[in-house]
Structure 1
């Protein structure tokens, strides 16, 4: 069977450090940055704008859910020496059929969405230079070239820098709006205001919860972590990642609660809501703060773009390599393989057509259905894999892990039902 991962900077002799330290982390930062997109931040801002600090508890629980899911993915890769798709395939051919449909349709639509999201802040920062569609195509091409010619080590470094920008901007904004800490602490008590159920489910399940959670194990292997000796390092890496995500979410909830809720300002849904926020920031705090925010908006969007371009392409290379091993030869880097680069091209060029056309109705429905099903699919198959003989007994899920994964599965089923009900049938 082809080895569809790469050896990165963490491999150095394949010997894990005696102590897990800050210098060891990397894949977690990548998965957190990729999973938190502009749309997630808008959802958090809207929740803060509508309900103030009341749903802060939901954001915290959401981070704990993602920690459990990513830890389970990483534990599967390290404990079994097999990739996640290899595990899915062992559950039956239905998983192959679902993943094949998902990765093709999802990639086509997501490619256009990621390019547009990255283009919005650039068009606002440099008005009158290029139109939005041209910026979007340029972002897609830059992502393509960067991932095509760089391997995991360079990719991780760039992602870390962009995460630093995201972190600095979001914390600055949270401090600038002067949060009421007493109200924030009160928001840690679980309460469901009238009309808040959808927003609560979205905060718990939406932020940082995408196919990139499944890509975490591939980045763990790409870092050079390949066996249970790296388990402690992986767990530290994962916790740091989702604590970072928690800071992003809490900071944006603070901004929503203080800047929007108190003023009764409503943002547009989707990525354009962040442009609305930029306008509000310019009016309230001046152009410098607004421009800093737009830089953070770009970092948030572009990390999601290049993260998907790299991580999901690794997953696709593994998918193809399991079915056609000759296409991903043993010992060859997946990042240089034909399937990896083919999926990169698929993410970049066909979606350009969607930038110039309204998304076809049928495609929107299919995309919505398979997208809504993915997170329940991930959570429930992880429960199955990590409680079976496929996983060595020492590393199977215990009561806490099973409880978190089971709760995540139930949550994502509820979100799935809600998303399917909201589709334009």
Structure 2
């Protein structure tokens, strides 16, 4: 038995594992913006929605990790086993998603960086951040990459959560808004907050990071659950910190904030109402959250695409051979560059309406697709009986599927109107 056969003997058996990459990737500018809007509109009310979202996303992420450990197969291999239509959908979705997401992630980094250093033209930040992400991903081993992510996570904790601590004394008059409720007309908003917290396609990368960490076999499932739980605890802390800050400084003021531009408004209020240093601290945290999303996505989703290409073309037919080789494939490098360069066109030339419409529709489809795929895979004979879903995880995945189907119907309805 080797050191990696028994996790209790492994010196890396701790909370500091691949979950750091899940947290770094899942906590992006979109999550910060969602927390901002929730706090400014509803005070502390929707903390409950964030907590539910964290539990459901943990169940999805745990399912991805458990399938990988219990079968020694990747999630893409599992999806491919459902039919070529399933992996074909994933491949098409990943290309379109990467094209639009690459532009959005780079713009988020640029927005934060430009607020910190406005003398540099905005377009420079748009170009530099994705290229820097590609270099860091392609030039470093996993161990070094994990160390880089750890630095950024630490920076995010010190800045964003630290700033939230300073606004706690401002909550006295609105503490009653923390009672769970569903205000009139807020149902879809609450569902969106639940479904949007903690990442989407990026969580499917978790199994590849487990392999990079050399966590293999069913005996690592308890370790993986601790690791995944740590990721979503971090995610929850960050989103709740944003709700606290926006509730304390913006709730009841009539300020209209939305999207990532609203984060700059919150930063300005932190500086004006409390201390100028808090503005800079928050902007650094905003930038760190945005750039770690770039790093995690460039690193993790490229695994998924490379695995898809290998399965779909038949170049990969033995799951045991691909884990250590996938990052060396042309498909992996292609997708890193796909995320880096083509999306710049969307910034410099504008975003074609039809691409945004198709992107929105496919994005709404992916999460119920993942939830239903995990329900099928983790209740099938592909998984040993001891590692299959129990009643708790089946219930959580069913709730997730229903939630995301409801959001899909709402998204499609909005697109058609």
TM (norm. structure 1) is 0.92
Within the alignment, does 1:243 sit opposite 2:233 as a pair?
yes
Deviation at 1:215, TM superposition (A): 1.1
* Structure 1 residues not aligned, in runs of 5+: 1-11
Within the alignment, does 1:34 sit opposite 2:34 as a pair?
no
* Structure 2 residues not aligned, in runs of 5+: none
* Secondary structure of 2:350 counterpart: coil
State how far apart, in whole Å, the 2-side matches of 1:167 and 1:389 are: 42
Deviation at 1:372, TM superposition (A): 0.9
Superposed, which structure 2 residues align to 1:24-423 within 5 Å? 25-129=16-120, 131-178=121-168, 180=171, 187=178, 190-267=180-257, 269-324=258-313, 326=315, 330=321, 332-423=324-415
1:250-304 CA distances to partner (integer Å, 9 max, x unpaired)?
A: 111111211110433221x222221222222222123211111110011000010
1:153-183 CA distances to partner (integer Å, 9 max, x unpaired)?
A: 1111111111111122222122111254896
Most deviating of 13-22 and 408-417: 13-22
1:198-253 CA distances to partner (integer Å, 9 max, x unpaired)?
A: 22112211011310111111211221112112111101101111111111111111
State how far apart, in whole Å, the 2-side matches of 1:184 and 1:62 are: 22
Summarize the Cα distance change of 1:51–1:19 in structure 2 as closer, same or farther, 3 Å threshold.
Answer: farther
State how far apart, in whole Å, the 2-side matches of 1:17 and 1:164 are: 26
* Secondary structure of 2:168 counterpart: coil
State how far apart, in whole Å, the 2-side matches of 1:74 and 1:184 are: 38
- Tell me, yes or no, if the aligned pair for 1:317 and 1:328 is still in contact at 8 Å: no
1:103-137 CA distances to partner (integer Å, 9 max, x unpaired)?
A: 111111111111111111111111112x1121111
- Alignment coverage as a number of residue pairs: 411
* Secondary structure of 2:7 counterpart: coil
Superposed CA RMSD in Å reads 2.1
* Secondary structure of 2:119 counterpart: coil
The aligned counterpart of 1:9 is none
1:350-404 CA distances to partner (integer Å, 9 max, x unpaired)?
A: 1111111221111111111111111111111101111111111111101100000
State how far apart, in whole Å, the 1-side matches of 2:307 and 2:89 are: 15
State how far apart, in whole Å, the 1-side matches of 2:183 and 2:358 are: 33
State how far apart, in whole Å, the 1-side matches of 2:239 and 2:16 are: 21
* Secondary structure of 1:82 counterpart: coil
- Tell me, yes or no, if the aligned pair for 1:79 and 1:228 is still in contact at 8 Å: yes
State how far apart, in whole Å, the 2-side matches of 1:342 and 1:184 are: 50
State how far apart, in whole Å, the 1-side matches of 2:314 and 2:3 are: 26
- Tell me, yes or no, if the aligned pair for 1:328 and 1:338 is still in contact at 8 Å: no
State how far apart, in whole Å, the 2-side matches of 1:277 and 1:284 are: 10
State how far apart, in whole Å, the 1-side matches of 2:314 and 2:209 are: 20
State how far apart, in whole Å, the 2-side matches of 1:230 and 1:185 are: 43
Summarize the Cα distance change of 1:407–1:117 in structure 2 as closer, same or farther, 3 Å threshold.
Answer: same
State how far apart, in whole Å, the 2-side matches of 1:424 and 1:208 are: 27
State how far apart, in whole Å, the 1-side matches of 2:408 and 2:283 are: 32
State how far apart, in whole Å, the 2-side matches of 1:228 and 1:301 are: 34
- Tell me, yes or no, if the aligned pair for 1:369 and 1:420 is still in contact at 8 Å: yes
Deviation at 1:424, TM superposition (A): 7.0
- Tell me, yes or no, if the aligned pair for 1:328 and 1:339 is still in contact at 8 Å: no
